[in-house]
């Protein structure tokens, strides 16, 4: 039987989590959705990479309902001005709030670096004072500090590297002995989106080994882009305990769990319908296969 997919004029994909295995597996047509009575958790990204965060979060916290907004129409954000990134991110956040999200995670590192504080300080108080926006950079820096790693390599987009946000947050914690070497790795995302994980791993491995061969100690590696979560297990297999891998697909679910435990007033509002909606601002046919591969599911 040929796969059936639902995609309306606004490019909404609806994934439902099967209670038996807590995984994102099946895409249903809109009419088969359960009715949501509570609030949801939203995730924003400039493309599809944030779906790795959604998948990881939903695995750890399967009972809640999620909305995902991928701004595929305007990617890549790295080529845009700070003001353009702010306006595009704000539009995505508004969409998620209007879809019933009480909490939104900015899964895009570039957007987190450029817009998070401004959205929290300027936008929320006047428009959605009862909602929350979280980023992905501070949770990673907190993990680095707790690990006591001293020489940390970071792979990220050029825009994230140029922002200096990771260094700024590390400096706020007075971790003077910990050094982060930020390296722009623009070739990794195209390889990962095309399914060439081995090619991306080879580039990452070459950059790491270059430093090790020069005697530059590396005891930690930050994967500073949502797509890079696909490298996590392979790099851990290669380097074992020699290098601690800081992957947002591990860190964000853990930190979000802690956040909800510490903010029961938000957790109690959350819907338990196990609904997952994915909204893309622009659809391409090749996204269908990529979504299935990324989420390890199939359209039905």
Q: What is the pLDDT of residues 274-293, one digit of tens each?
A: 888 888 998 887 787 777 76
The pLDDT, as a whole number, for residue 76 is 86
Sorting pLDDT into bands at 50, 70 and 90, what band is 37?
A: low
Consecutive H or E run containing 220: strand 220-223
The pLDDT, as a whole number, for residue 177 is 87
Question: 130 phi and psi, to 5 degrees?
Answer: -100, 5
CATH architecture of 137-247: 3-Layer(aba) Sandwich (3.40)
Which residues are annotated as catalytic?
108, 225
Q: What is the pLDDT of residues 79-113, one digit of tens each?
A: 889 999 999 999 999 999 999 999 999 999 999 99
CA–CA distance, 145 with 137 (Å, rounded to integer): 13
Of the CATH numbers 3.40.50.1860, 3.40.50.11540, 3.40.50.300, 3.40.50.720, which one belongs to the domain with range 12-135+251-299? 3.40.50.1860
Sorting pLDDT into bands at 50, 70 and 90, what band is 18?
A: very low
Q: How far apart are the first and last CA of the chain?
A: 9
Q: Order across the sheet with 220-223: list the strands.
A: 179-184, 151-156, 220-223, 244-247
Say which residue, 177 or 207, is predicted with more confidence: 207
CA–CA distance, 155 with 224 (Å, rounded to integer): 6
* CATH topology match: 12-135+251-299 vs 137-247: yes
The pLDDT, as a whole number, for residue 154 is 98
The pLDDT, as a whole number, for residue 194 is 82
Q: Which stretches of the chain are DSSP H helices?
A: 51-60, 82-98, 109-118, 124-127, 137-147, 158-163, 165-172, 188-193, 197-213, 232-239, 248-262, 264-267, 285-295
Sorting pLDDT into bands at 50, 70 and 90, what band is 273?
A: confident
The pLDDT, as a whole number, for residue 284 is 81
For the chain, domain boundaries: 12-135+251-299, 137-247
∠ CA(56), CA(62), CA(63), 5° rounding?
A: 155
Q: Mean per-residue pLDDT for 20-30?
A: 45
Kindly report the average pLDDT of the chain as a whole number.
86
Of 5-14, 215-224, 242-251, 269-278, least confident by mean pLDDT is 5-14
Could you tell me what percent of the chain has a pLDDT over 70? 85
């Amino acid at each position: 039987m040929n796969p059936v997919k639902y995609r309306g004029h606004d490019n909404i994909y609806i994934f439902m989590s099967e209670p038996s295995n807590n995984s994102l597996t099946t895409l249903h047509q809109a009419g088969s959705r359960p009715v949501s009575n509570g609030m949801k958790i939203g995730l924003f990204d400039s493309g599809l990479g944030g779906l790795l965060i959604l998948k990881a979060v939903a695995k750890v916290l399967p009972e809640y309902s999620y909305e995902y907004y991928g701004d595929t129409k305007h990617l890549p954000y790295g080529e845009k001005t700070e003001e353009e990134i702010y306006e595009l991110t704000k539009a995505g956040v508004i969409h998620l709030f209007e879809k019933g999200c009480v909490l939104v995670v900015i899964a895009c590192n570039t957007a987190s670096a450029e817009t998070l504080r401004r959205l929290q300080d300027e936008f929320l108080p006047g428009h959605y004072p009862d909602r929350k926006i979280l980023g992905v950079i501070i949770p990673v820096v907190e993990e680095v500090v707790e690990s006591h790693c001293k020489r940390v390599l970071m792979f990220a987009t050029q825009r994230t590297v140029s922002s200096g946000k990771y260094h700024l947050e590390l400096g706020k914690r007075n971790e003077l002995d910990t050094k982060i070497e930020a390296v722009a790795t623009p070739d990794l995302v195209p390889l990962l989106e095309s399914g060439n994980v081995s090619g991306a791993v080879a580039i990452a491995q070459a950059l790491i080994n270059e430093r090790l061969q020069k005697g530059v100690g590396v005891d930690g590696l930050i994967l500073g882009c949502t797509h890079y979560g696909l490298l996590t297990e392979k790099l851990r297999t290669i380097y074992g305990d020699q290098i601690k891998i800081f992957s947002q697909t591990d860190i964000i679910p853990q930190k979000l769990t802690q956040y909800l435990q510490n903010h029961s007033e938000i957790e109690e509002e959350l819907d338990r319908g196990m609904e997952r909606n994915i909204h893309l601002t622009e659809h391409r046919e090749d996204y269908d296969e990529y979504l299935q591969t990324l989420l390890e599911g199939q359209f039905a």
